Structure 1
Amino acid sequence: MEPLMPESGMKELEDLVSDFISKASRLASQLNPQVIKSVGDLVRSMNCYYSNLIEGHHTHPRDIEKALQEDFSKNKETRNLQLEAKSHIEVQKKIDEEDTKKIENIVSAEHISWIHKEFYKLLPDELKVIKNPDTGKIIKVIPGKLRDGNAQVGKHIAPRYKSLESLLARYEEAYKPKNLSKIKQVIAVAASHHRLLWIHPFYDGNGRVTRLLSHSYLKHIGIGCSLWSVSRGLARRVQEYKSALVEADSPRLGDLDGRGNLSEKGLSKFCKFFLACCIDQVDFMSSLLEPANLLRRIELYAEDKIKSGDLPKGSTALLRYAVLNGEFERGKAAQISGYKDRQARTVLSTLLKKGLLVSGNKKEPVTLGLPSEVLDDWFPKLYIGF
């Protein structure tokens, strides 16, 4: 699987990394921390939606939202997709809430298997089996267990299963963050993304595990955060993504194509594509979350709903306060809205009932809610493909 890091086009790659780091750091400083948490919950659902979409699994955002509320469809196929989505979100939540810097090696076989195990252990039995297209043999996928047989994905014949341990050991050695400079760490996220898919360590789930690992790696090196998802960028350019993966699978094309058995130019091209997708998504979310623009969209939405009678007067003030300040005590609703206590409680109750504001219980502060019904208005073009 050599080379493990690109050697050509380094000036362009380094420029991409520099741009990426600069923009990603600015994005994280745009919003109130409590609003970041709310948006982070939304982005986890979005990441799941796009990662599954890449695999050909189309789960509507409202079905994902219902799954998180334990409201599952009676239709078996839809229910299975909901369970799959819920599992994906829960794994990413563990990654987001965990101090990944404490993980000794983010690219270890142990950590990769942990992601696979956490994802698969919650799936229904129907999604834990695959069928060999050539023999018709049914193979059970065991959570966290490396494949114990050979596999082929499209034209890519995966490495023999007996070589998996040695390949993953080499993978770990090459991409271990502490052995790399900051610039090379970021390039390694892209390179390791392809090489793990090339290794194909599991019978199934390799795509989602790899994208979750990339998310974990970016967070570990202090660039990734809960406010953006590379999966959205990859899904928007899914054919380019798959073509770039195939090109990086190619064998070495002569003496001017690196010194390994695989194409160095193909790997370099994939890394540029991957980093460009990351930057594109950071740019997109930075624009979407620019405080003044976000507040304007929310205020326009609230005023329209007040005019139509769907929301009571005073709603705009409470939503504005939640955006700017992150949270507020229920007892401050009258002061914020400018209404008397009884009317202010009615406004607050309506916003809570509609999910526009949320609170863990009656004693906890109120924060901004992001139900699926408002996404098109508050976060236009966040979801594509449905």
Structure 2
Amino acid sequence: MQPIGSHMPPMPIEERDDLPNPIEFYDNYVKPGVPVVFKGIAKKFPNFNDMKSDEYLREKHGDFEVLVETAKKEDRNNPPRTMNLSNYLSIYEKEDVYVVQTMFPPEAFTKEAFVPKCLLCQGFLDRLNMVIMWLSSGGTKSVLHNDSFENLNCVLDGTKEFVMIDRKHADLVPIDNPDRGFSSVDVEKVDMHKYPTLGKLPWYIANMEAGDCFYIPKNWFHHVNSSQTRNLAINIWWRSSKEFKHREECEKSLADIPEYDTLWNYRLNNGIKIEDLVFADAFSENGTTTLINLLKITYKTLPKEMEAKQKREALEKLQELFYQADANKDKLLSKDEITSTASSLVQDFLTDEAVLEEEVDELYDEVKEEL
């Protein structure tokens, strides 16, 4: 049995030595879902050389609490440990561990993370969701998985290999843990008898060196190998959008956009905006939707990473929006009614026809059952 992606020659992924502006990035890569490697752009970050030093990290951020995975070959059933960064740096070369730590401004460590030019317009910055640091002594292997967010991964030390599958082949990828978006396939020894569809897929390979940044489109499947030496990367997740918002403002500011800016200057929006829960797919040809249909469509689009409680709360908010926006109380919501309703809702607002709070659990279970 061979490692994943070994059954046929890989397809190439585009590489560029320059960084596009935000509009070009959105139009040519994000909107069509085309992966691309930007070679060497992170070498311009002012801390690029500092981040190669454990002493620098220990001195500047030794007290930073980090989440530590307990096996370099990813196993999502293993509970992680927590410790401060200084303690981790004292053991990570000897133990089978690596850091996967989410960072939120204004935490001090976010001054070490930089947002490249291609994201420095409001259309992207308003949708920044999560920033994660990955630090190991090398040799980590991820499961085969996909993510519900757009992703820009920048390698600051070591190298990484991304084995990729286009999201259009989703029906052939054996994601047997759909709630968490990953496959149980052994990425080092693929059993083609158990997972025969993996032998029919075209693969893409992206090889990253220190200083490279790689755009991974939402829902593309990937498996990641890190080099056998010290490995440090920071990735930025943001929520996708069907159009580039604030395009005109961005176009006017293109000449003034810097090559990068520190993440510390921004705030992440890792919640869910009500307007982002209303999708065109929920509406029929005549432009209306029922409550149950709106909830079903929305539930399918919620990020896999969300906990069940968060999903339930999202559906509660959407239910409130439905009844507030249904101006003529015909139990059908139109696109016009949505666009004319403020997205900020009055807490605990209920109309006479609203589903009572104690019935939400039953409604939520009904949605899940129908899916």
| TM-score (normalizing by structure 1) | 0.25
Larger helix share, 1 or 2: 1
Larger strand share, 1 or 2: 2
